Amino acid sequence: MTQPVFNRKTVEPTRVDTLLFVRVMRECVSRFTGKVIENFELHLSQPIGFEEDIMSLTKFAASRQVKNLVLDFSNPTQENISLALQARRDRASRCIYPRKNELDVSHLFFNFLYVRDLTVCSFLLQMLKDCDDPMALHDPLKTRHLVMKTNLHTNDFMGMSIFLKSCPELESLTFDILTTRLARAPSPLVIDPAKYWITSNAYECLEKTLKVVKVKNFRGRSNELHVLQYLIRTGRVMERLDLYEAKGLNHKQKSSVLASVEEVQQNFKRASRNLQITLHNA
How far apart, in whole angstroms, are the C-alpha atoms of residue 201 and residue 64? Answer: 34
| Phi, psi dihedrals of residue 101, rounded to the nearest 5° | 70, 5
Question: Which one has a higher pLDDT value, 9 or 155?
Answer: 155
Q: Long-range contact list for 23-27, CB < 8 A, 24+ apart?
A: 25/53, 25/57, 26/53, 26/56, 26/57
The most distant pair of C-alpha atoms in the chain lies apart, rounded to whole Å, by: 56
How far apart, in whole angstroms, are the C-alpha atoms of residue 85 and residue 182? Answer: 11
How far apart, in whole angstroms, are the C-alpha atoms of residue 17 and residue 157? Answer: 32
- For residue 128, the 8-state DSSP code is T
Per-residue model confidence as pLDDT tens digits over 146-204: 999 999 999 999 999 999 999 999 999 999 998 754 444 445 567 899 999 999 989 99
Question: Which one has a higher pLDDT value, 100 or 259?
Answer: 259
Residue 159 near residue 198 (C-beta atoms within 8 A): no
Per-residue model confidence as pLDDT tens digits over 18-67: 888 888 888 888 888 888 899 999 988 878 888 888 889 999 999 999 99
Q: Does residue 101 come out as left (phi exceeding 0), alpha (psi in the -120 to 50 range) or beta?
A: left
| 4 Cα distance to chain centroid | 20
